[in-house]
Amino acid sequence: MRIVDANRDLVPRNSSRFLPPYLVMKRGLFLQMRIRSLAGKGVFFGTILVFSLFFACQKTTVSAPEPTPSPEPIIAVLTAIPTDRPTPAPTAIPVPTDTPTPSPTPTPSPTPSPTPDPVAHAIEGTEPETFGYRTALEIGGTRVSDFSREQTIRFDMTGSYAAIPGVVTLRGGNLRQNPTYGTVPELSGKIEVVWSKATKSLPKGVSGSGSWTGNGWTGQCLMVSWPEATRRVMNLYDEYKEKDGWVEVIYASMDGNVYFLDAETGKATRDVLSIGMPFKGAGALDPRGWPILYVGSGDSYENESGKARAMAYSLIDFSRLWEVGKAKDGFALRSWTAYDSSVLVDAASDTALIPGENGVFYTLHMNTQYDEEAGTLTMSPDPVVKQRYTARRLGGSSAFAYGYESSAVAFGCYAVLCDNAGYIRCIDLNTMETVWVQDLVDDINSTPAFEPTDGGGCLYIGNTVDATAQNGKGISSFYKLDALTGEILWQYDTEVTTTSHITGGCMSSAILGEQSLDGLVFTAFASTGSKSGGRMLAFDTETGEIAWEISLGSYTWCSPLALYSASGRGYLVIFDHTGVMYLLDGRTGETIATRAFSENIEASPCAFGDLIVIGTRSRHIWGIRVS
């Protein structure tokens, strides 16, 4: 640009004069000096411009004698003749670098669309009408024929349920796979009693004479590590509000009390919550980590305060937040009322799932308001949604009974419920429509374990022998079902003994193997061979073949749990009804160690790390460490 400006001064645009040779020479000298000064900049095209201008000047038309040149700036530059004094070297002008070509901004990949949940559907043989299966709905005391839930429900299908560390419901979560949290060291077989806690008894209600004692079936405790902010608003003793890193055991018991204990020491962490109704089933905590406890009575009493019901309690002040299904619910087709099922909560929709032994499935949108900073917790539930059912072999003088003692499994928008008549069904929670039904022949007390698979899932469930018993014996079965269709994929049958006091078959809920136990599923049968016999088996999940089996010293209603080391090695723990604890190598069934507690055990254990907690009918809660 500077060369062009100089040329503009030297050669006016409209000049018609002839340039004499001496002026041409001066002009050339000037431009050469300019070129030299620019050469340091690497402007190589300067020479080309000089010669272009030179020849342009020679071709200018002659029209008048040449006057004396007048542009002073040009004369001053051309007369600057070097002298003997050294000319200061020109200041070096940085050589411009090439501007790098910017890399094109990569086009962002589109966010992948979430994989849609699989759609459950009936196939031939699992249509509800095949079994004469019909349902009815009631909302706020009004019968309705159609239903669409405003706050839609969707449970995770990968096993992610609780937002806090611990075990917050029966069998650990919505897929009901394993009631443990954390890992254990590689186990050599040491079983150490760390502490014990005495419990009490409670007279029975309408169920009969005698007393409810300690902890019974299913009787699993809860174990959780509360965050500091939550601890500070709860009614914990001051020591435990301040203490970090401890685990609380919460045990709803058949003596009508809920106990709160330090898992490490067995010491009370807060006052006992005395409700005055027996709790056979496991309680549940809110999966959001909010201080809410859900429990359900296992018996009913004639007085108003003792009538069976499902309830939610605040763990800030022990206030009762809601209750549903109080005996006797006029909508139910069965008068017996109890709640042995462990509640599930869909966190996003704030909805509780509550199966009742009266044959009613309750769902409750709770409208929970929890302000942790202010330490306040309230619920103002919408009218409860109730669903009852009937089927071909139910009603009248049938030996089969309505009702749910098993706990619900939930995946996606579906729940799977098992009943006392041997039916297992899948329900769409957002429409309350029954999707499929399967007949598993007899009373189902255990809870299914859900296995996620590509594009769907499977269920593992066993039945007991009750209505089908002949001369005190019958066939108990363990099944693998397609969770989307209800199709039976395989089943294992075995003969068991059953009596009015000891139910034979699968009272235990299955454990789905992981890590080193991947590909195996485990369960136990009560009263095999005789009423006191018991067996534990491992099945290949694909084929249903027995991988191993062991005989227990006595029958068991206890559900096993699986412990895993950091390396992935899996161990199993189960108790029989005489109080013998078995620690097994999960892959082989080899007995690593046993320990006799000499107490009647019907309940199921729960574990946080290497610490196992279980209650007994003999009125003790035990804290046990394995190493």
Q: Where are the domains of the chain?
A: 2-78, 128-626
Given a cut of 70, whether residue 11 has pLDDT beyond it is: no
Given a cut of 70, whether residue 213 has pLDDT beyond it is: yes
Predicted local confidence at residue 70, as pLDDT? 43
Residue 6, helix vs strand vs coil: helix
Find the mean pLDDT for residues 18-37. 38
Condensed to tens digits (0 to 9), the pLDDT of residues 442-477 reads 999 999 999 999 989 999 999 999 999 999 999 999
More confident residue, 168 or 398: 168
Task: Give CA–CA dist 236/232, Å, rounded.
Answer: 8
Are the C-beta atoms of 39 and 46 separated by less than 8 Å?
Answer: yes
Q: Which of 64-68, 207-211, 343-347 has the lowest mean pLDDT?
A: 64-68
Predicted local confidence at residue 100, as pLDDT? 53
CATH class for the domain made up of 128-626 = mainly beta
Given a cut of 50, whether residue 385 has pLDDT beyond it is: yes
Given a cut of 80, whether residue 438 has pLDDT beyond it is: yes
Residue 223 φ/ψ, nearest 5 degrees:
-140, 125
Find the mean pLDDT for residues 272-301. 97
Condensed to tens digits (0 to 9), the pLDDT of residues 312-358 reads 999 999 999 999 999 999 999 999 999 999 999 999 999 999 999 99
pLDDT above 70: percentage of residues in the chain:
82
Find the mean pLDDT for residues 507-532. 97
Q: What is the pTM of this model?
A: 0.83
Per-residue three-class SS string for 543-599: CCCEEEEEEECCCCCCCCEEEEECCCCEEEEEECCCCEEEEEECCCCCEEEEEECCC
Task: Give CA–CA dist 294/236, Å, rounded.
Answer: 18
Given a cut of 80, whether residue 16 has pLDDT beyond it is: no
Predicted local confidence at residue 396, as pLDDT? 84
Given a cut of 70, whether residue 20 has pLDDT beyond it is: no
Mean pLDDT of all residues in the chain?
A: 87
Task: Give CA–CA dist 63/3, Å, rounded.
Answer: 27
Given a cut of 80, whether residue 99 has pLDDT beyond it is: no
Given a cut of 50, whether residue 511 has pLDDT beyond it is: yes
Provide the pLDDT confidence category of residue 240 given band limits of 50, 70 and 90. very high
Q: Degrees (nearest 5) of the Cα angle 29, 33, 39?
A: 140
